[in-house]
Amino acid sequence: MKLSITDLNKQYGNGVIALNQVSLEIDKGMFGLLGPNGAGKSSLMRTLATLQEADSGTAYLGEINVLQDKDAVRKVLGYLPQEFGVYPRTSATDLLHHLAILKGFDQTKERKEMVDYLLQKVNLFEHRKKAVSSYSGGMRQRFGIAQCLIGSPKLVIVDEPTAGLDPGERNRFYNILAEIGEQTIVILSTHIVQDVRELCTNMAIMDKGQVLYKGTTDEALYQIKGRVFEKRVNKEDLPYYQKEFQLISNKLVGGKPQIHVFSEVPLNSGFVQAEETLEDVFFAKLNALV
């Protein structure tokens, strides 16, 4: 099954253009949607999750018209928003049973087997009787994945899933997502470049409602291969380098700015060629350098 998005547009009442002619083809596996806050990622995710209308364009999940046949989409959709609420004092088991009933699983034995399986899959079975509202951030995100997988969905959407997680929880979350991606379409919407590099073969970069890049992570890196140079500079000299060079990014290393610049020709004056990263691609695309 494939997700095909063509010329999707969305403008909000305040004039903000959230989606501008967005077109993507997404096959089974992990697909990374990368962009800064306000890029349009969440607007696209909400549209695909049938939570808001598009102004124009089309989206098909296999033969299902995503924009028109919302009930059919919801039967095969798993969605984990950036923030989700839970009922207070309700255990993980009870809440999953409730959500499964809402999805049409009314056979008690079948539903119990599925709930137990999902809790084991996300390593929460030992905590199944605890209130989800008492879970840590990482545990809540794993519960969110469990509710995503009710009914073996064909499309799973996760929006900024690892924000605020410690490294251990992030790695556990990575492993769960990677396993899911072996069998279904998983869209990972994030502004964390590492998430995409760790998990996804195919990706898109969005900014201001537009798709700036779509393709594989390897192809993205190839676009800047051999054209990224780095140098540590004094803080007071940073404005000079910003003016004179095509600056990709800068960050403090040991109290001094370390700059990455884009250049078609080798640079002297203390610059050394850097190993290109997906973060370099990300900033180079946002700054229209490639």
Evaluate whether 96 touches 86 at the Cβ level (below 8 Å): no
Q: How far is CA 104 from the centre of its chain?
A: 28
Evaluate whether 128 touches 80 at the Cβ level (below 8 Å): no
Collect the ranges in the chain with pLDDT lower than 50: none
Match 């089309």 to its residue by tokens.
58
**pLDDT number for residue 13:** 93
**pLDDT number for residue 164:** 74
Predicted confidence (pLDDT) per residue in 233-269, tens digit: 999 999 999 999 999 999 999 899 999 999 999 999 8
What are the residue boundaries of the structural domains of the chain, listed by start?
3-221, 224-286
**pLDDT number for residue 169:** 83
**pLDDT number for residue 167:** 85
**pLDDT number for residue 6:** 98
3-221 in CATH: which number? 3.40.50.300
Of how many residues is the chain composed? 290
Entry pTM: 0.88
